[in-house]
Amino acid sequence: MPILQKDSTAIWRKRTTGQALALWAVWLLGVAIFMYCWQVISNATTWFFVWDAPRIATDIWTRATPPKWEYITQLGRPIWDTLNIATLGTLIALVLAVPVAFLAAHNTTPSKMFIRPIALLIIVSTRSINSLIWALLIIAIIGPGVFAGVIAIAIRSIGFCAKLIYEAIEEIDETQVEAITATGASRWQVMAYGIVPQIMPAFAGVAVFRWDINIRESTVLGLVGAGGIGLQLSASLNVLAWPQVSLILLVILVAVVLSEWVSAKVRGAII
Amino acid sequence: MSAALQAKVGQQWKRPPFVRNATLRWTLIGGFVAYLIAAYFTIEVNWSRVYEGLDRGARFVLAFTSPDFVSRWTDIRDGMIESIIMTVAASVVGILISIPIGLGAARNVAPLPIYMICRGIVAVSRALQEIIVAILLVAIFGFGPLAGFLTLSFATIGFLSKLLAEDIESMDKVQAEAIRATGARWSQWIIYGVLPQVMPRLIGLSIYRLDINFRESAILGLVGAGGIGATLNTAFDRYEYDTAAAILIIIIVIVMILEYISGIVRARVQ
């Protein structure tokens, strides 16, 4: 225990002198890095606009309130599209994520040397790229529209769903699998009767959880042209129709809160 | 053997359904099928356009085998550095702000009025998506990394404060009480009784959030809030798939490195 001797009395201290110095050096380095980052950001900023910001903010606020309520009649179809993008995207992602998860899990993968790294690469690469970027890419390939949004959401969700499902597969109770194997079941029967029932609750939870996130993400996909309510948002922003923008933002907020509530209810019922 | 079991002997076993309640099960299935049919008839897919795009898709996939880092290297480098700088600065500021808000949003530490305010901040920050916040902040503060930095800080606060508050609410009361029994002030109670208990999780979550912030910073450029997104968008618009593939590969590699580091750090602090 580090102790400081001072006037022949021992005082308890948390760290030795060396540890304290090392900690101090780490903090100094961290603060230096942060100050450098801040300087770069500051140099790239037109500070005149920033000092002007409160005036602009109040200006936008007065333009945006009250929301243009009668515009909501034109939002029905975009909301339906958004719901479709999220739901169909989640469905496709789940169909694709299950085989990937089985290939990635330690205890079910056919080959730890070759197939598992490929499955893990699919998981990490689909997960690390945002759905908006996937949407940009899909639009460049198959053109704008709701279908592009569905595909973008599907690709983006594969990694997330597969990761959570494969973690559930790795945590299963092996004795049940062994019991099914002992009855002489084939490989597929073991999967259907030994593994699938055990991961079913996790699977349903992941599906609802991802659906909730996808509703959130599909509301903004329209900003790059992939359909849904985001198209209306970007159109209103482009013509500076702030009352419409505020109404759309309110609708998005309600949709997000509702989907989160539904997902929390369903997950509560499963677990 | 009971009578119920006796009746079942000789019958074939059937797997129990996932949803026990039969009415609920069939309502769910029926509703789902109805929804799928409705969705199928309202989505317009231009199949000829999709078919035309397939060879472009193939070209993009092939571009991953020969990514072009060289011809737009200065743009890629500047965008990446800006993304990383925004990520680091926003994570630091976001974490610093989210610690007091997290304390305020924990019911066992904060009095009710402060609790309500902090929970309100968390709810607003979580409900608004990064890209929408970025659009508003770009409109207010002008183009550039400052808007992106503020967006990411704002998003970090909602995420980290909520998880930190939940962690504080489920902490071990005994340790905190022991510190209080020594006659500690409120600040000493927080520093010696509460924070050491939540520190490992806070460090793990902070690194996880750094990872998320980097991924999000890649899209902020689409709306003019700085970072690699603008370069990526231009590459897609000009069908320069090899440059786009190079940028995507860099993003994936950095995310993988961050996940690897966060795995090591989380294993060490826990």
Residues of A in contact with B233 (CB under 8 A): 136
For residue B64, tell me if it sits in a domain: no
Residue A220 phi/psi, 5-degree rounding, is -105, -5
- β-partners of residue A4 are A11
B113 in a structural domain: yes
Cβ-based contacts of B144 with chain A (< 8 Å): 41, 44-46
- Look up the pTM and report it: 0.84
Within-domain flag for B242: yes
B57 found inside a domain: no
- Residue B161 within any structural domain of the chain: yes
pLDDT of residue B235: 87
Model confidence at B33: pLDDT above 70:
yes
Q: Out of A80, A147, A200, whose CB is closest to B45?
A: A147
Contact B258, B211 (CB under 8 A): yes
What residues of B are in contact with residue A136 (Cβ under 8 Å)? 222, 232-233, 236
CA A249 – CA A240 distance, rounded (Å): 14
Mean pLDDT of B15-40: 85
Percent of chain A whose pLDDT exceeds 70: 98
CA separation for the pair B130, B217 (Å, rounded): 9
pLDDT at B170: 86
Supply the range of the domain harboring residue B79. Answer: 71-269
> What digits encode the pLDDT tens for the residues A138-193?
888 888 888 899 999 999 999 999 999 999 998 888 899 999 999 998 888 888 88
Chain B residues touching residue A127 (CB < 8 angstroms)? 255
> Tokens at residue A237, please?
């922003």
**A136 touching B, CB under 8 A?**
yes
Average pLDDT score, chain B: 87
B64 interface with A at CB cutoff 8 Å: no
Q: Do A141 and B141 touch (CB under 8 A)?
A: no
Q: Give the number of domains in chain B.
A: 1
Residue A1 is predicted with a pLDDT of: 60
Residue B157 within any structural domain of the chain: yes
CB contact under 8 A, B142 and A34: no
CATH of the domain at B188: 1.10.3720.10
Q: What gap in Å lies between CA B27 and CA A28, rounded to an integer?
A: 62
Q: Is residue B153 part of a domain?
A: yes
Residue B215: inside a domain, yes or no? yes
Is residue A84 within 8 angstroms of chain B, CB to CB? yes
Q: Is the dihedral of CA B154, B158, B159, B160 positive or negative?
A: positive
Q: How far is A8 from chain B (nearest CA, A)?
A: 25
How confident is the model at residue B1, as a pLDDT? 59
Q: Compute the mean pLDDT over every residue in chain A, rounded to the nearest whole number.
A: 88
